[in-house]
Chain A
Amino acid sequence: MTVSSQVKETVATLKGIESTLKIYAVQTVDQEIKSVFSRVGGVIDGVVNDLEERVGVLEYEEPQYKGL
């Protein structure tokens, strides 16, 4: 398993977490839970962006592993 595919896997997991949190934030009627979950969702989004950038760099550096 190449480094870029490992990072991609983490990105996928984080995206899954983020979307579940978003669903919870929409479903709940409690304002506190709503605000905490959406704020945290934003933070995770930032991490996802960083990682995706890194995947881009890795694939540029080692194009032979691109898509793996």
Chain B
Amino acid sequence: MPEWLTVFLRGAGLWLFILAAVRVMGKKHPSRMRPFDFVNYTVVGVVAALTASRVMALVPGVILLGVWILSPIILDLLMMKSKWVHDFVSGKETVLIRQGKIMEENLAQVRLTGEDLLRELRSKSVFKTADVEFAVLEPTGEINILLKSDQKPVTAQDLGQKTAPRNEPQTVILDGNIIDEALSNLGLNREWLGTKLEAAGVSLNNVFIGQVDAVGDLFLDLFDDSLEVPAPKIKELIYANLEKCHADLMGFSLQTKNQQAKDIFNKDAKKLLEVKEQLKPYLLK
């Protein structure tokens, strides 16, 4: 076999091998890696390079790669089984701020200076340490913070407001192609989509992205940006119509002189008001 062919085969073979190995080793993001994971990946890379460039013989090289690829997988499995192994390998998190007070000795223990801490806080948009209730240094080196309760962004729960569940929209058209799996997830079919597209006056091959929300409204983005597709406003329309009907009923009850009819109109107006309040989170986003 000519020399260039062996080099080529080795290179290509190892390339495939490493590609598969890294996929098997996990989905951890590089910035979320433990320092040891980084060492592990480096060793795998260097050994692969040495073997490919024939500094190392093929068999020992592949065996070494096998060990360094399998060991972390086994270690991961062990860590899932045992808390002790987990704490030993990845270390425990260190509390840096507790009850709004910076723990200087913990800071010294993980060799972080005050500037480091301030920089990390700033990267989380916190410029005042007094705003922080609790901060912790994760084993990956990331600092996570809990803001004081009066500094946290307002949530719907804080306002005591009910919100409708928001299901993920399904992408049913991509690049002019219908995605049947997404459609059947919603229990819909191609005919339904065809009707909707016809109603919007758009042909399928002009659609770049089409998404269906929880209740089955279709939102479109077209290739032809000069065409304006109106976003479905049916829910807003229902809400406005409910308001109108409520006002109508109040008006009827004022107009009539028949007490019995007045009562019925008033009762119905009250019912519609309740309906309106119940539907508000679902109809208005």
List residues of chain A with CB under 8 Å of any chain B CB: 3, 6-7, 9-10, 13-14, 16-17, 20-21, 23-24, 27-30, 32-33, 36-37, 40, 43-44, 46-47, 50-51, 54, 57
Contacts and interface: CB of A to CB of B under 8 A. Distances in A.
Nearest to A53: B264
B31 interface: no
B241 A13 contact: yes
Interface residues of B, number: 33
A28 to B, nearest CB: 5
Top 9 nearest A-B pairs (CB, nearest first) are: A27-B216, A24-B215, A10-B248, A47-B268, A28-B215, A40-B275, A30-B214, A17-B238, A13-B241
Contacts of A57: 261
The secondary structure that dominates the A interface is helix
Contact of B252 (A6, A13, A30): A6
Contacts of B261: 54, 57
Interface of B: 164-165, 167, 185-188, 214-216, 234, 238, 241-242, 244-245, 248-249, 252, 255-256, 261, 264-265, 267-268, 271-272, 274-275, 278-279, 282
A29 B186 contact: yes
Contacts, number: 77
Contacts of B279: 36-37, 40
A7 B228 CA distance: 37
B252 A7 contact: yes
Contacts of A13: 241, 244-245
Contacts of A32: 164-165
Contacts of B264: 50, 54
A23 B196 CA distance: 14
A7 B272 CA distance: 15
Given A17-B241, A17-B245, A57-B261, 10 more contacts: A7-B252, A14-B245, A20-B234, A24-B215, A29-B186, A33-B214, A37-B279, A40-B275, A43-B274, A54-B261
Contact of A47 (B165, B238, B241, B271): B271
Given A17-B242, A44-B275, A28 B252 contact: no
B271 A46 contact: yes
A57 to B, nearest CB: 8
B234 A50 contact: no
Contact of A6 (B238, B248, B271): B248
Given A36-B279, A50-B268, A10 B165 contact: no
Given A16-B241, A36-B282, A47 B272 contact: yes
Nearest to B188: A27
A13 B245 CA distance: 7
B232 to A, nearest CB: 11
B268 A33 contact: no
Given A24-B215, A29-B187, A44-B275, A51 B282 contact: no
A37 B282 contact: yes
Nearest to B274: A43
A51 B253 CA distance: 12
Nearest to B216: A27
